[in-house]
Amino acid sequence: MRVHLVRHFAPDVAPGVCYGSADLAVSDEVHARMLSSVQAALPSNLPVYSSPLQRCLRLARALACDVRVDQRLAELDFGAWELRRWSDIARAEVDAWAADVAHYRPGGADSVATMALRVHAFYEQLMRSEEPECVIVCHAGTMRLFAARQLGLAPAAMAQHAASHAHAIGYGAVVTLDCV
């Protein structure tokens, strides 16, 4: 199966603010400016899956009339860290997360390991489908875990892989994977 992973556009949030599961919007200006480049990068008339967060869902609905929303595609939940400035989060907490990115629960919510379990479950279900190709509108964290699963890794290894590789996935980026 060929999968086109698309990262949402830049959300309306101040620089330096921690966000993951916060349901942030994308400005009309940013959406209008970036939409045509994403549309041009994708084949048309493919099934489209989306994270339920509005920054993804708006883009997904611009790509297809029938969007399949799946909670398993949502970004990491930073719990009490959500919408706080990174500089306002206790240094000891950030250091604890940096020491164990895969298993630490930043803000007391998700860990990359628990997120890997849900992305793995979505991946496995998708691979059992009859679809030869699809689009998934999601988040950088989801994309990194999906790519790790595409390498054949189990959830624990997916989390370690994603945690140990810095991401450089830009807003509106399209990453195409051939999955088996």
Class of residue 177 by CB neighbours under 10 A (exposed 0-12, middle 13-18, buried 19+): middle
Neighbours of 143 (CB within 10 A): 22
| Interatomic CA distance for residues 35 and 123, integer angstroms | 26
Helix%, strand%, coil% for the chain, nearest 5:
45, 15, 40
**Residue matched to tokens 């830049």:** 10
Task: Say yes or no to pLDDT of 37 above 80.
Answer: yes
**Which residues partner with 137 through β-bridges?**
6, 50
- The string of pLDDT tens digits covering residues 16-32 is 999 999 999 999 999 99
When pLDDT is cut at 50, 70 and 90, the band that residue 65 belongs to is confident
The rounded Cα 169 to chain-centroid distance in angstroms is: 10
Q: Are strands 2-7 and 133-138 parallel, antiparallel or unpaired?
A: parallel
Which ranges of the chain does DSSP label H, i.e. alpha helix? 28-41, 54-63, 91-99, 112-127, 140-150, 155-164
Six token digits for residue 78: 């930073």
**Which residues partner with 133 through β-bridges?**
2
When pLDDT is cut at 50, 70 and 90, the band that residue 130 belongs to is confident
Over residues 63-78, the mean pLDDT reads 95
- The string of pLDDT tens digits covering residues 80-108 is 999 999 999 999 999 999 899 899 999 99
| Structural domains of the chain, with CATH | 2-178 (3.40.50.1240)
- The string of pLDDT tens digits covering residues 111-121 is 999 999 999 99
Quote the crossing angle between the two packed helices 28-41 and 54-63, to the nearest 10°: 50
pLDDT at residue 167, as a whole number: 75
Class of residue 50 by CB neighbours under 10 A (exposed 0-12, middle 13-18, buried 19+): buried
